[in-house]
Amino acid sequence: MNRSRPLDTWGGLLICWVLAIWARLRAVTGGPPLPPLQATTPPGDTPIPVPKRVLAIKFYGLGNIAMLLPVLQDLRDGLPEGAEIDFLTLEGNRSLLEISGLTTNVLTARLNSPFEFLSGVLSALRFARSRRYDVVVDFEQFIKISAIFAYLSRTPERIGFNTDGQNRAWLYTTRVVYTDSEHMSGIFRRLLRPLGIRPSRRQVSMALGDEDERAIDEILAQGGVDGSSFPIIGVHAGSGPNFYRVPLKRWPLENFVELCDALCDRYGAKLVLTGQGEEEKEIVDEVRQRMRGETIDTCDLLTVRQLLALMNRCHLVVANDTSVVHLAALMRTPCVAFFGPTAPIHYGPNNPEDLVFYRDLYCSPCLTNYNLKISRCVDPVCIRGIGVEEVLAGIDREYLGESAPQRASLRAGVS
């Protein structure tokens, strides 16, 4: 991602300019009309025809895909019967989309190298052109490759965000103002408005297989956890790959150790640690080595389906600002989440049962879609300043204390 970002920022900007000039020349010589340069697109007198074949685009972030699923549900509910929705994304997001059952085809590219990514995008472009989509809905907030893809797909109607300062909206036929005024799922929904689609608020049904549930039951049983165990708590102490000088989005590891020991001591909690990749494996190993109590290590052992099944088996999830927060939200599992450089109003868990810790300092948030999520902070006091005792007090008050309002529902809610 570090290498692809400058390529997209500067190389993508050049390509966007070239294609925008070409599109303008076509428009003045009888080609498809375009809105004025830089302008957003107010509703016109002629509505966009109801599409029968749609391509949605969102490359980055399993958590973003999880937040998008309710929006895709709205799109599916708002289209006529038999309409098709294809989705272009990274390969790692494929299974989550397939589990949802909301897409017809999932087109993917891999991010192992710029060459492999470009090769995958070109292959997807050939397929997209053959599909002859009526509409492209580009859910990317700032990257330029998605806007370029939308234009080159030869789709007549292209809807995307006009994000301030990103110089990528020239290639859309309908430009929607990007605004940081609500949760990201609500911001994504803005892109459906030009199609006349309103929220259906129908919950996404995640089609987990019996084999996924059995795999989790076996892992838990090996750790001494059965149907009578309470509480089972998922813990995600990592935050994915770190692209900065310091891990901005991670609550300190020593805090996780202290919190985990306290959860075991006070409530007899059964802790299941999750993670993926070499960096998070080191974090999980260190947490387990420094703890007094026992934990179950699932790092690098779970597919996305099995991770969802684990979220469904847990009574509670404790996590940094990662995709795990949003996967837990999909399964309606309450989550205790730590936020600092990103704001929970935009990226927090979106269920009323969740508990979010965020200090909202005057320097926060420093990672936004306006600055390409680039921060030069070297002292993330925003997330380091969240204390273990205040987290424990919140968990006791909301979930696990004898008088906690959610204690009974947590016990009853896990099959």
The pLDDT, as a whole number, for residue 44 is: 75
Minimal CA–CA distance to 173: which of 306, 39, 273?
Answer: 39
Tell me whether residue 208 is exposed, middle or buried, using C-beta atoms within 10 angstroms of its C-beta: 0 to 12, 13 to 18, 19 or more.
middle
Distance CA 380, CA 366 (A): 10
Copy the structure tokens of residue 151: 């234009």
Per-residue pLDDT, 415:
41
Distance from C-alpha of 267 to C-alpha of 264, rounded to nearest angstrom: 6
Strand partners, 159: 137, 174
CB 340 within 8 A of CB 383: yes
Alpha carbon distance, N-terminus to C-terminus of the chain: 39
Q: What is the pLDDT along the chain (415 residues), one digit of tens a residue?
A: 556 777 888 899 899 999 989 988 888 888 787 777 777 888 876 778 999 999 999 999 999 999 999 999 999 999 999 999 999 999 999 999 999 999 999 999 998 888 899 899 999 999 999 999 999 999 999 999 999 999 999 999 999 999 988 888 989 999 999 998 899 999 999 999 999 998 887 889 998 989 999 999 999 999 999 988 999 999 999 987 767 778 899 999 999 999 999 999 999 999 999 999 999 999 999 999 999 999 999 999 999 999 999 999 999 999 999 999 999 999 999 999 999 999 999 999 988 899 999 999 999 999 998 888 888 899 999 999 999 999 999 999 999 999 999 999 999 875 4
Domain architecture of the chain: domains with CATH: 4-195 (3.40.50.2000), 211-413 (3.40.50.2000)
| Residues whose CB is less than 8 angstroms from the CB of residue 122 and which lie 6 or more positions away in sequence, other chains included | none
Contact 340, 248 (CB under 8 A): yes
Query: Are 274 and 299 contacting, i.e. CB atoms less than 8 angstroms apart?
Result: yes
Q: How far apart are CA 157 and CA 151, in angstroms?
A: 9
Distance CA 20, CA 151 (A): 9
**What is the pTM (predicted TM-score) of this model?**
0.93
Residues 145 and 132: their CA atoms lie apart, in Å, by 19
Residue 3 has a pLDDT of 62
